[in-house]
Each structure stands twice: as C-alpha cells, then as structure tokens.
C-alpha cells in the first residue's frame, strides 16, 4: 500500500487531531515567533516601529536593571530548585515510611498551596511578612527578637519570596516523588532491613539512587516553572525595593505595560533571552541527569 493511500485512509485520524494542532499551534507557537519578531523592532503598542536588528539585545546587555533582573532570576531559580527538592523529597520519604495512617490527610494538606491561586498566596504571605503587624515578626518579638524587614530589606526580599515559592511548590513535587516511591519494590527494603540497614541508610542507599529519574524530572519541571515566576513577586514587592526582587519576567512586563513610553521591542528581547535560557537549562539539566544516571 502506497504512502499516499495510507495517508488518505487515515484521514479521519488527521481530522481528529486537527483541532488540537490548530489550538496549540496558534496559542503556543505563534506567540513565541511573534515575540522574537518584535524583539528586532523598536515596537510600540500601535506600530511596529523601525527595524533595529539586534539593537534591543545590545541595549539590554548595557541596561543595569536587566543585568540585575537576570542575576536575580538565576539566584531565585537555583535556590527554589534545590530547596524545593531538599524539602519535598524527605517529606515524601517520611510519608512513605508507612509509620503513619494520616498519610492521605497530610498529603492533602501539603498540596493545598498548589491549588491556591498565586495572587492569594502572595497576599497571604505579604501580610505574614509585614514588618510591624505580621505574624512572623510578632511571634519573633514575643521571644525577644526584633524581626527583619522581610520584604522591604533589599538584601533579604528575594530570599523571602523564594521561601514562599518553595512553600507553594513542595506539595506538587512531593506527590511526584510519592508516586515514584510507590512503584519501588518493598522487598528491597525488607532485604536491607534484614541486613541491618537502618532507615537513614535505606534512604541514602536504596531510595535516593532509585529516585534519580524522579529527581531529574522534578529538577527540569522546577527550572521551567521557577524561571517563569511572576505573580508572587508582582503581588508581594512589584520588583522592589530598588529592583532587588525584579525577575526578567516582572521587569519585562513593567517595561512593556507599566511605563509612560512602553518599549515592547526591548521587553520582547528580554523575553526571548529568557525563553532561550529556559530551553538551554532544560536541555542541560536533562543531559546532566542522564549522564549521572548512566554513571
């Protein structure tokens, strides 16, 4: 049977996948192309403006605000990725020990922030972090410590937001880890226990190596997710104080929509760079973890 004939016979199948290809193609691919296209122009809201080639990219590299936002994005992503794995993996392992019957309840509790809208999370924590009236500093004061200015100290604000980010995503990663843990063979642990391996040794020498695949998956999901972070920063600090919490996402949004003379082209260039950085990080993370898995 010829290729043409096989394709003709499968026409119903093609018809069935057409809607999703149209929808995903238009609303996933086109914005990427459009953003890249705009990044080459001195674009305004109503007009495309003149073609400036890589001029926008040059302006960005020279723009100190952008350099700070880029550095913030790297720090923020690194902290959040490592910390959320460092919290969610032990949490999943503890739940998996079968020492507690409360696992379903605890699992649901840890997962709550994942289903809570980001704007709500941002405002909840903005209030908890409040320097004068926040629960955190009030509690610290009760034991005689004057709490820091969590969100208005330029040295601290980014880390305060990162902590909320970890709080908000731990449950999601924990569920992924638990699902992988549930597929591990209990006989492995029984054999190890007979050989006298304690819980900690079992975790280090059985669980961790077997979870390398899950860890790399979570790492990649985390990088993609954390590099796109927007709403927590936007609700808690708007990039302030003094740009100390601006990420590339928030800065490019502000450049495009919040200034008197919006520079869409510049903002599109920043987005394009971030987009490429995320793709690069994803590929590198996938390669590195695959390399480690084979080793």
List binders of other proteins among 135-194 (CB under 8 A).
Answer: 135, 137-139, 141-142, 167, 171-172, 175-176, 179-180, 183, 189-190, 193
Is residue 95 within 8 Å of 273, Cβ to Cβ?
Answer: no
Site for other proteins in 234-293 (CB under 8 A): 234-235, 249, 252-253, 256-257, 264, 267-268, 271-272, 274-275, 278-279, 282
Which one among 75, 184, 197, 231 touches other proteins, defined by CB under 8 A?
231
Is residue 268 within 8 Å of 35, Cβ to Cβ?
Answer: yes
CB of 11 to other proteins, least distance (A): 8
Interface pattern 10-29 for other proteins (x via CB under 8 A)? x-xxx-xx-xxx-xx-xxx-
Residue 196 zone, left/alpha/beta (φ > 0; ψ -120 to 50; rest): left
Residue 6 interacting with other proteins (CB under 8 A)? yes
CA distances from 140 to 39, 144, 145 (A): 48, 6, 5
C-beta closer to other proteins: residue 62 or 115: 115
Q: Which residues contact 51 (CB under 8 A, 6 or more apart)?
A: 40, 41
- Cα–Cα distance measured from residue 175 to residue 248, given in angstroms and rounded to the nearest whole number: 29
Residue 47 interacting with other proteins (CB under 8 A)? no
CA distances from 1 to 4, 5, 6, 11, 12 (A): 8, 6, 7, 15, 18
Residue 98 interacting with other proteins (CB under 8 A)? yes
CB of 67 to other proteins, least distance (A): 18
Residue 65 interacting with other proteins (CB under 8 A)? no
């Amino acid at each position: 049977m010829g290729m043409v004939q096989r394709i003709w016979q499968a026409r119903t199948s093609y018809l069935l996948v057409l809607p999703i290809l149209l929808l995903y193609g238009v609303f996933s691919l086109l914005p990427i192309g459009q953003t890249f296209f705009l990044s080459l122009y001195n674009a305004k809201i109503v007009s495309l403006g003149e073609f400036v080639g890589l001029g926008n990219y040059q302006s960005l590299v020279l723009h100190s605000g952008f350099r700070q936002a880029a550095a913030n994005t790297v720090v923020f992503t690194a902290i959040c990725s490592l910390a959320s794995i460092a919290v969610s993996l032990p949490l999943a392992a503890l739940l998996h020990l079968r020492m507690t019957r409360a696992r379903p309840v605890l699992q649901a509790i840890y997962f709550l922030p994942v289903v809570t809208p980001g704007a709500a999370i941002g405002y909840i924590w903005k209030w908890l972090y409040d320097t004068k009236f926040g629960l955190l500093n009030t509690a610290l004061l009760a034991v005689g410590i004057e709490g820091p200015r969590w969100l208005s100290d330029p040295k601290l604000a980014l880390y305060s937001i990162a902590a909320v980010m970890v709080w908000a995503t731990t449950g999601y990663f924990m569920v992924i880890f638990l699902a992988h843990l549930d597929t591990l063979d209990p006989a492995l642990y029984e054999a190890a226990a007979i050989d006298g391996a304690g819980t900690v040794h079992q975790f280090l020498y059985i669980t961790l190596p077997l979870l390398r695949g899950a860890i790399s998956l979570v790492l990649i999901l985390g990088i993609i997710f954390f590099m796109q972070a927007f709403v927590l920063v936007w609700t808690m600090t708007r990039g302030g104080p003094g740009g100390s919490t601006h990420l590339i996402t928030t800065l490019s949004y502000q450049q495009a929509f919040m200034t008197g003379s919006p520079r869409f082209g510049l903002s599109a260039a920043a987005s394009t760079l971030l987009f490429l950085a995320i793709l690069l990080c994803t590929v590198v993370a996938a390669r590195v973890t695959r390399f480690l898995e084979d080793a």
